[in-house]
Amino acid sequence: MTDWIERLIVTALLLALVVVVVAMSAGLSPVARWMPLVVALPTLGLLCLEVVADAARAGGMSRVAVVNTRGLSRIVEGANRGRRDSSDDGRRKDERQALIWLALAIAAVLTLGMLGGLPLYLLLYLRLRARQRWTVALGLAGGLLLVMYAGLDRLLRIPLY
C-alpha cells in the first residue's frame, strides 16, 4: 500500500465517522440532534472537499514529467505506482513491528492485568526489540512494578486492573 492510498484511507475513515454521526442523529429527538448536526454537516462538507483534494493529489502524484535539455519531453502516467525504494520498505517494516508491539502491550494488560502485563511487556520489549542488557531490562521492569504496587496500589490506594 502506497502512502497516498493510506492517506486517502485515513480521510475516508474520518468521512465515514462523520457520516455515521449524521445517520445516527436522525434517530434522535430534534433537541438532541440539533448540536450534532450543526457541527457534523459543515464538517462533512469540508471532508468531502478533502477527499476530492486527496484523490486529485494522488492522481497528480502518479504523473511524472520527463524533462530533458530541450525542455519538457513527455508526461508518464502512473510512473511511480508500485515503485518503492528500500528505505520505504524498511519504514513500513518498522511500522508493522511497532503496531505489533502495541497490540502485544494491550493484550498483555488485558489478559494479565496492569501489575503482571505492563512490566512483562516492558521487559520483553527492552530485551527483544531494544536489545538492552538483562540488568537494564530487569531493573526498569522491576522499577515499574514497584511504582505500580507500592505507589499506586498501596500508597494512593488506586485499585489496579
Partner 1 sequence: MMPGPTLHAAWEGLLLVLSWPNIVYPIAGTLLAMVVAFLPGISGVTLMALAVPFTLTWEPLPVMLTFGGMVGGATFMGSITAILFNVPGTGPSAATLIDGHPMAEEGRARTAIGCAAMASAMGSSVGIFVLIALVPLMTVAILAFGPPELLLLLLWGLTTIAVITRGAVTRAAIATGIGLLLALVGHDARTAEERFTFGALYLWDGIGLVPAMLGLFSIAETLSLSVSGRETISGRHHVEQLAGSVWEGVRAVFTHFGLFLRSALVGTVIGIIPGVGGTVASFLAYGQAVQTSRDREKFGHGDIRGVIAPEAAHDAKDGGALVPVLAFGIPGSEGTAVLMAALVLHGLAPGRELMTERLPLVFVLIWSLFLSNWMTSIVGLLLVKPLARLTTLRVQTLVPVILSLAVMGAYTHAQRIGDVVLAFVFGVAGYYMKKHGWPRIPLVVALLLGAGVERNLHITARLFELGRLDLAARPILFVLALLIAVNLALPWRQASKRAGAEGTS
Should residue 140 be labelled a site residue for partner 1 when binding is judged by CB under 8 A?
yes
Q: Which of residues 44-73 bind partner 1 (CB under 8 A)?
A: 46-47, 49-50
Should residue 125 be labelled a site residue for partner 1 when binding is judged by CB under 8 A?
yes
- Please give the grid coordinates belonging to residue 104: 502485544
Minimum CB distance to partner 1 smaller for 6 or for 77: 6
Q: How far apart are CA 57 and CA 5, in angstroms?
A: 11
Quote the least distance from Cβ 66 to partner 1, whole Å: 25
User: H or E segment at 77?
Assistant: strand 71-77
Quote the least distance from Cβ 140 to partner 1, whole Å: 7
Q: How far apart are CA 5 and CA 14, in angstroms?
A: 14
Q: Which residues of 57-68 are buried (b: 16+ CB within 10 A; e: fewer)?
A: ebeeeeeeeeee
Give the number of other CB atoms < 10 A from CB of residue 114: 20
Footprint of partner 1 on this chain (CB under 8 A)? Answer: 6-7, 10-11, 14, 17-18, 21, 24, 28-29, 31-32, 35-36, 39-40, 42-43, 46-47, 49-50, 90-91, 94-95, 97-99, 101-102, 105-106, 109-110, 114, 118-119, 121-122, 125-126, 129-132, 136, 140, 144, 147-148, 152, 156-161
